[in-house]
Amino acid sequence: MAGEVSSLEKKTRQAFIWTSALKAPLYTLQAMLMFILYKELHATPFQLCLFLSVKPIASLFSVYWSAMIYQRPDRLRLNLMLAGLIGYSPFFLLPFFKNTWFVIIACALFWTMHRGVMPAWAEILKQNLPKKSRHTTFSKGTIISYLSMAILPICFGGMMDVDNTIWQVVFPCVVLLALTGMIFEWRIPIAEGVISREKTLVSPREAFFRPWKNTLELFQTRPDFFRYQMGFMLGGGGLMIMQPALPSFFCDQLQLSYTELMIALAICKGIGYALTSRIWAHWMDRLSIYRFSSFVTILAGLFPLALMMGKIEVLWVYMAYLLYGVMQAGSEMSWNLAGPIFSQEEDSSAYSSVNLVTVGVRGCMIPFVGGYLFGVISASSVLLLGGVLCALASLQLSRADKRYASLPKESV
């Protein structure tokens, strides 16, 4: 029995860590698409705002993909593999469709599938790994991913400065690499006795409204979970409202090259993430999710302040993204593992799906608000406004921590 448990944990850890590493180059190029659209494809301000909103809005559609695994753990592996195949494939066609609208559509499909598998991964880690191992495995996988993301920019940024069309060739190559992760996903074991074969037929109308009903029910019955979502909504909104101003801030005001952008966006952010991910995992075992997340949003509020110092010296841009990487290490751990923390013995996919709904709702509004404000006020003012929202998020989460301080940590 001990051998079976050991094998179960080992294969699960290997699957998460290897797939994280293999898809890292693709995620690195994703971070550059906003600047490729701005500099190479000459996207309009509306197209840039739409592109920025695609990632969070995709979450509204992701909930329907993740709904397929609710109380159906036998579908977990297939859910992961099909999502990768569907989400990555459009990037094979980039050399033939050098068009802003095609890039936006491809990214919409990509992020829908990426977000859609988050509840599946959360449930797999919850089922197959003990709590402490769950946090460290997530940390190791993301550390390897971000370290890989720090290697590619050294070559890619230089190539883009020499040949600004090279991205059309590189994308299909990194997609092939990401798809090899399906081999490890197929080997993920499902523990005996947890597979439910019950099949309930639901109408299309019920299937459409189920994620929204689930969200409202959880908010009504779990005010502690609602408070967490409110804090993350404010913090995420602060980061999101800054995005429309960043291409102009970097390219027009700071006049950064592709190499300098890649150093900041991937290398510095990756180093910050890798150096602190294990520390965040250590803290997550000891702090309430509210206190943990309030530290994340404090760092998010400091990011735009450091970024604006880049007008004085470009090294501050690198420092800002080093700080962003530290913040993101904690943010991803909080966002992805909140479902298992709040659900306890329940199916965590219902809680994780609420994360997708709230991110999607935020994405329908905030990027366009940021784009409008960028057209009215300066880029620096938009960045400062984002920092204020992140500070308010930290205040909200700190108040929630005090309110639910009497609850046992495991029930938070």
- Token pair 């949003």: residue: 297
| Model pLDDT for residues 19-76, shown as the tens digit of each residue | 888 888 887 777 677 777 877 777 777 787 788 778 777 777 777 777 676 667 777 7
pTM of the model: 0.68
196 phi-psi bin (left φ>0, alpha ψ -120 to 50, beta other): beta
| pLDDT (0 to 100) of residue 390 | 93
| Model pLDDT for residues 8-28, shown as the tens digit of each residue | 788 888 888 888 888 888 877
| pLDDT (0 to 100) of residue 203 | 56
**Low-confidence residues in the chain, pLDDT < 70:** 1-6, 31, 67, 69-71, 131-132, 146, 148-155, 157-158, 160-161, 191-207, 258, 347, 404-412
| pLDDT (0 to 100) of residue 2 | 47
End-to-end CA distance of the chain: 32
| pLDDT (0 to 100) of residue 410 | 44
| pLDDT (0 to 100) of residue 302 | 93
CA angle 296, 104, 297 (to 5 degrees): 5
Domain spanning 2-190+205-411, CATH class = mainly alpha
| pLDDT (0 to 100) of residue 389 | 93
| pLDDT (0 to 100) of residue 151 | 67
- What DSSP letter does each residue of 176-190 carry, written as one string? HHHHTTHHHHHT---
| pLDDT (0 to 100) of residue 152 | 67
Burial group, residue 202, by CB count within 10 angstroms (0-12, 13-18, 19+): exposed
Domain boundary assignment for the chain: 2-190+205-411
Contact 13, 144 (CB under 8 A): no
- Ordered alpha helix ranges (H), 40-166: 45-66, 76-88, 100-116, 118-128, 131-162
